[in-house]
């Protein structure tokens, strides 16, 4: 598969790249960013996946995430895929809402028309893109970690819970932990997967844990001034599921922080150091 280089720039001794390729999973061109630290010049390095939230592309964390200095220090590659397929022919929310359709793929493979034609983000981030990265870039696929924000935190948790042998560590920033119980998730999972709520459980972190999925431990940061906290994010549901399952959860409620990239950037280096310790 051909990868087009959109841009490459030197940063903290490494290389920040943005790339595009034609995706078999989504049937559209897909863009992702990848930072390779200076250590990658001497051999494969561990890889941290970052899944972005609603309305975002790869560019949000690439421009605002402030991860490169820590990645260069720790010798970590950092990849950020897009959040949905793109293109004039890709179906969108019929009412033009921002929380469904373009920029809101929710990391599922849609089964409902017309979205099932392109919205196959689960296959893209768990199968197609990892295979492409492994072939093209100097990363060590035996040492992977995953994190994400909001909708991307939901994606990171569900991907890790369903691939427990793939990731050495998992974290999230303000994740949607139980989409089957909040408005964002009910709209997205219903629109992409249909009305059978049993089918939603494979894309709901709290439900996956209730159904037997396990991880060694989790790190979650959540701002207590986040305006989505009570209605959409509900970290207490993840706490209850982890407590019942015996999964060690470090849930840090950060006073005064909201849902923005100022919050993410503040704690990004903490997360990367936490991942680096587990990727050694």
Segment 75-130, tens digit of pLDDT: 999 999 999 999 999 999 999 999 999 999 999 999 999 999 999 999 999 999 99
Assess whether pLDDT exceeds 90 at residue 219.
Answer: yes
Q: What's the confidence (pLDDT) of residue 119? A: 98
- Residue labelled with tokens 């060694």: 216
- Asked if 156 and 163 touch (Cβ cutoff 8 Å), the reply is no
Instruction: Confirm if 138 and 35 have CB atoms less than 8 A apart.
Output: no
Q: Examine the pLDDT at 228 and tell me if it is beyond 80.
A: yes
| 226 catalytic residue (yes or no) | yes
Query: H helices of the chain, where?
Result: 58-64, 68-74, 121-123, 129-136, 151-162, 183-193, 197-200, 205-210, 235-245, 261-279
Q: Among positive and negative, which fits the CA dihedral 280, 223, 242, 154?
A: negative
CB within 8 A of 97, min separation 6: which ones? none
Q: Looking at residue 153, what is its pLDDT?
A: 98
| Res 49: pLDDT | 99
Confidence check: pLDDT of 1 > 80: no
Can you state the percent helix, strand and coil of the chain, rounding each to 5?
A: 40, 25, 35
Domain that holds residue 234: 3-279
The catalytic position among 52, 84, 150, 169 is 150
pLDDT value, residue 232: 98
Write down the pLDDT at residue 202: 97
Per cent of the chain over pLDDT 70 is 100
Q: Quick check: 266 pLDDT over 90?
A: yes
User: Is 63 exposed, middle or buried (CB count within 10 Å of its CB: 0-12, 13-18, 19+)?
Assistant: exposed
Classify residue 161 by its DSSP letter. Answer: H
Q: What's the confidence (pLDDT) of residue 106? A: 98
Q: What is the pLDDT of residues 155-207, one digit of tens each?
A: 999 999 999 999 999 999 999 999 999 999 999 999 999 999 999 999 999 99
Contact between residue 145 and residue 167 where contact means Cβ atoms under 8 Å apart: yes
Residue 138 has what pLDDT? 98
Q: Write down the pLDDT at residue 159.
A: 98
Which sign does the torsion angle of CA 119, 6, 66, 129 carry?
Answer: positive
Which pLDDT value is given to residue 98? 97
CATH number for 117:
3.40.50.1820
Amino acid 90: pLDDT: 98
Read off the tokens for 21.
């390729």
- Could you say which of 149, 203, 259, 275 is catalytic? 259
CA distance 16 to 182: 36
**Cβ proximity of 195 and 181 under 8 Å:** no
Per the document, the length of the chain is 280
> What residues does 81 pair with on adjacent strands?
32
Give the tens place of pLDDT for each residue, 9-58.
999 999 999 999 999 999 999 999 999 999 999 999 999 999 999 999 99
- Number of domains within the chain: 1
> Given 82, 109, 221, 226, which residue is catalytic?
226
CB-neighbour burial class of residue 124 (10 A; exposed 0-12, middle 13-18, buried 19+): buried
CA–CA separation, 44 vs 46, rounded Å?
7
Q: Please give the pLDDT value at position 5.
A: 98
| Residue 192 near residue 93 (C-beta atoms within 8 A) | no
pLDDT of residue 216 exceeding 90: yes
């Amino acid at each position: 598969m051909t990868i087009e280089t959109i841009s490459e720039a030197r940063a903290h001794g490494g290389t920040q790249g943005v790339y595009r390729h034609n995706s078999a999973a989504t049937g559209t061109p897909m863009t992702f960013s990848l930072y390779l630290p200076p250590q990658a010049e001497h051999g494969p390095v561990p890889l941290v996946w970052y899944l972005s939230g609603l309305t975002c592309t790869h560019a949000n964390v690439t421009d605002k995430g402030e991860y490169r200095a820590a990645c260069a220090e720790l010798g970590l590659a950092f990849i950020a895929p897009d959040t949905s397929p793109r293109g004039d022919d890709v179906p969108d929310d019929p009412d033009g809402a921002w929380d469904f359709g373009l920029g809101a793929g929710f990391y599922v493979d849609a089964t409902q028309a017309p979205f099932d034609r392109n919205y196959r983000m689960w296959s893209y981030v768990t199968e197609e893109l990892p295979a492409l990265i492994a072939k093209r870039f100097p990363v060590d696929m035996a040492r992977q970690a995953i994190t994400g924000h909001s909708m991307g935190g939901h994606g990171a948790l569900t991907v890790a819970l369903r691939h427990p042998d793939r990731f050495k560590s998992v974290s999230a920033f303000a994740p949607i932990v139980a989409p089957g119980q909040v408005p964002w998730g009910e709209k997205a999972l219903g629109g992409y997967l249909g009305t059978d709520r049993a089918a939603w459980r494979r894309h709901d972190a709290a439900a996956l844990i209730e159904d037997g999925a396990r991880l060694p431990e989790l790190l979650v940061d959540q701002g207590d001034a986040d305006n989505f906290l009570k209605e959409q994010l509900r970290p207490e549901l993840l706490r209850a599921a982890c407590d019942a399952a015996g999964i060690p959860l470090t849930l840090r409620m950060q006073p005064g922080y909201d849902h923005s990239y100022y919050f993410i950037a503040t704690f990004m280096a903490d997360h990367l150091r936490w991942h680096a310790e587990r990727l050694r």
